[in-house]
């Protein structure tokens, strides 16, 4: 199967909001990502609007040709926004006000009764619903039971182990991701992955045959400071394709 790259532009908005005004423009970043080979744009509209804003979502829907993957918490406010815009995809994620970034997967097993109505309503509106979960068979089974079309597997623990230089943990977490991808695929779920991926960590994930989309943001925006966004995205696109070609050969 082919593999797609979704580029998360949240942290372009983070830089803009640090000073206020309109620069740098996340919509401009989305255009450059598209020119560099991105297959989709991801944006997380947080309840506290710490980076992406409602106006950004309005503009992304109106001005960008690529599919928009709207990341959001399962709250009535966010549901109303998603149903109004009807983006191509909606990824339900956990969200805590005090966290710097998403700290783990959504516990869909514990939150089944709360989350299931969101999955149903978004699906009925024509959105492709994704659940951002840990690579755990129970979470995958509940995601399927809810009727989600997609699971996005949280790669954060794998990436953190790599940064710590813990080879054993890297292998452990990679095996979990591989096994979870197989299970999800066998259950008829589309498999995505993301969180914390870099040039150094992306290839083993891209080589997992069942994974057909990677969503990457913070690293690419940081790398763009040094080499420009088009080159940063293009390099990531090349590494993903190399990994996939090696897996297919």
Catalytic: 88?
Answer: no
Q: What are the tens digits of pLDDT across the range 113-143?
A: 999 999 999 999 999 999 999 999 999 999 9
> What pLDDT does residue 103 have?
60
pLDDT confidence of 2, banded at 50, 70, 90? confident
Catalytic: 71?
Answer: yes
- Read off the pTM: 0.94
Distance between CA atoms of residues 44 and 78, nearest Å: 11
Q: Which of 44, 51, 185, 192 is catalytic?
A: 44
Q: Which of 195, 210, 213, 223 is catalytic?
A: 195
Provide CB contacts within 8 A for 28, sequence distance 6+: none
Q: Which of 11, 51, 71, 213 is catalytic?
A: 71
> What pLDDT does residue 96 have?
59
Q: Residue 105: pLDDT above 60?
A: yes
Choose the weakest-confidence range: 98-102, 171-175, 238-242: 98-102
Which alpha helices (DSSP H) does 107-151 contain, by range?
A: 112-124, 137-146
Q: What percent of the chain has pLDDT over 90?
A: 93
Distance between CA atoms of residues 72 and 122, nearest Å: 12
Q: Which helix (H) or strand (E) holds 40?
A: strand 40-44
How crowded is the C-beta side of 152, counted as CA atoms within 13 Å?
29
Q: What are the tens digits of pLDDT across the range 214-234?
A: 999 999 999 999 999 999 999
Q: What are the tens digits of pLDDT across the range 28-57?
A: 999 999 999 999 999 999 999 999 999 999
């Amino acid at each position: 199967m082919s593999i797609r790259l979704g580029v998360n532009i949240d942290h372009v908005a983070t830089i803009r909001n640090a000073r206020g005004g309109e620069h740098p423009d996340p919509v401009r970043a989305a255009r450059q990502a598209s020119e560099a080979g991105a297959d989709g744009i991801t944006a997380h509209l947080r309840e506290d609007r710490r980076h992406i804003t409602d106006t950004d979502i309005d503009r992304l829907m109106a001005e960008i040709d690529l599919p928009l993957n709207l990341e959001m918490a399962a709250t009535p406010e966010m549901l109303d926004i998603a149903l109004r815009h009807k983006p191509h995809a909606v990824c339900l994620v956990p969200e805590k006000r005090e966290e710097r970034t998403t700290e783990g997967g959504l516990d869909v097993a514990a939150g089944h009764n709360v989350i299931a109505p969101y999955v149903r309503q978004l699906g009925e509106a024509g959105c492709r619903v994704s659940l951002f979960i840990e690579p755990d068979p129970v979470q995958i089974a509940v995601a399927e039971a809810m009727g989600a079309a997609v699971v996005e597997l949280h790669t954060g623990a794998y990436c953190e182990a790599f940064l710590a230089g813990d080879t054993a943990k890297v292998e452990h977490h990679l095996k979990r991701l591989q096994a979870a991808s197989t299970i999800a695929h066998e259950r008829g779920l589309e498999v995505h992955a993301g969180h914390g991926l870099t040039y150094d960590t992306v290839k083993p994930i891209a080589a997992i045959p069942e994974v057909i989309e990677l969503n990457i943001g913070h690293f690419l925006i940081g790398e763009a400071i040094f080499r420009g966004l088009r080159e940063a995205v293009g390099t990531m696109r090349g590494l993903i394709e190399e990994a996939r070609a090696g897996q297919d050969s």
